[in-house]
Amino acid sequence: MRYLIKKACMMLFTLLVVSLCVFLAFSLIPGDPALRQLGTNGTPEQLEALRQQMGLKDPLPVRYGRWLLGLLRGDLGTSYVYKIPVGSMLAEKIPITLSLALISFVFMVLISVPLGIYTAKHKDGVLDHIVMVLNQVIMAVPPFFAGILITLVFGMILHLFTPGGFISYKKSVPGFIGYLIAPAFAVALPKAAMAVKLLRGSVIDEAAKDYTRTAYSRGNTTNGVLYRHVLQNALIPVITFLGMALADMVAGSIVIEQVFGIPGISRILLTSINNRDYPVVEAIIMGIAFLVIFINLLVDVIYRIVDPRIASGDE
């Protein structure tokens, strides 16, 4: 419990540092949001008035403080361009992107865990060789390209889904999930390939350790040794990878949303960057940072459940 509190404090501190970096970065890069909004037609007086109104004239620390306090209250600021609260702009999009990342994660686990175990168990078997070669290929293919291929094969040729025919979760949840399957697959594939390789290696390493010999000496079957002894040990390094992959998938979803025409946060992010709509960009980056840090915390907690050696290390 004390560990959790310690970790949570660290997490808050990290977030604070991230917020400072994000804020400074967008304050220091060239480009004037006021000028961008008015265009070149605005008079210098108008420009000055708008800067005053947007709070751009205040000193940096004051602006940072105001923004941070807003964040703490759950107020993400107001979009420069659309003049509406950022929170309401993102509210509809976040579930879409998160669903895509979660479905991708589920795919990754469902593909990699059974295959990793199977290829380790039947090392040098036919399927092992096939999977290892395929793995190399898939790892080298970026998700957007896999996305294009999937759209072509499953969408255009096999007609298993309608490319670009996104269905909102508000209209039909099954339809929504159904549309996300293909993009989720594209996101999950390269990660699953890496996870298979990692798990396979980990199982093979663990299976060579002394405790498996002990397990056999007690009359365990091969499966008994594998599932009751080896697997829990072998999963320890894989859990770290899965955690990192999940965090990465939230970011990775942004690219794939463009390929599949999914109205998640990617479109808002890209247009906001173009329009120098900093409050929106900052909010999205803070959100992703929060997710990454939170997932790390989660991985730490799971780690301690799976590996008792870590838990007793800091008591």
Q: Where along the sequence are the contacts to another protein (CB under 8 A)?
A: 209-211, 213-221, 224, 229, 232-233, 236, 306-309, 312
Closest distance between another protein and the C-beta of residue 217, in Å? 5
Q: What are phi and psi for residue 85, nearest 5 degrees?
A: -60, 140
Q: Which amino acid is at 297?
A: L
Of 27 and 232, the one with the shorter C-beta distance to another protein is 232
By the 10 Å C-beta count (0-12 exposed, 13-18 middle, 19+ buried), 244 is classed as: middle
Of 59 and 219, the one with the shorter C-beta distance to another protein is 219
CB 237 within 8 A of CB 202: yes
Of 100 and 113, the one with the shorter C-beta distance to another protein is 113
Closest distance between another protein and the C-beta of residue 117, in Å? 17
Bridge partners for 78 per DSSP: 85
Closest distance between another protein and the C-beta of residue 218, in Å? 3
Of 251 and 305, the one with the shorter C-beta distance to another protein is 305
Of 12 and 208, the one with the shorter C-beta distance to another protein is 208
Closest distance between another protein and the C-beta of residue 211, in Å? 4
Closest distance between another protein and the C-beta of residue 126, in Å? 17
Of 202 and 272, the one with the shorter C-beta distance to another protein is 202
Closest distance between another protein and the C-beta of residue 297, in Å? 21
Closest distance between another protein and the C-beta of residue 221, in Å? 7
CB 150 within 8 A of CB 188: no
Of 41 and 312, the one with the shorter C-beta distance to another protein is 312
Closest distance between another protein and the C-beta of residue 87, in Å? 44
**Other Cβ atoms within 10 Å of 260 Cβ, number:** 26
Of 224 and 261, the one with the shorter C-beta distance to another protein is 224
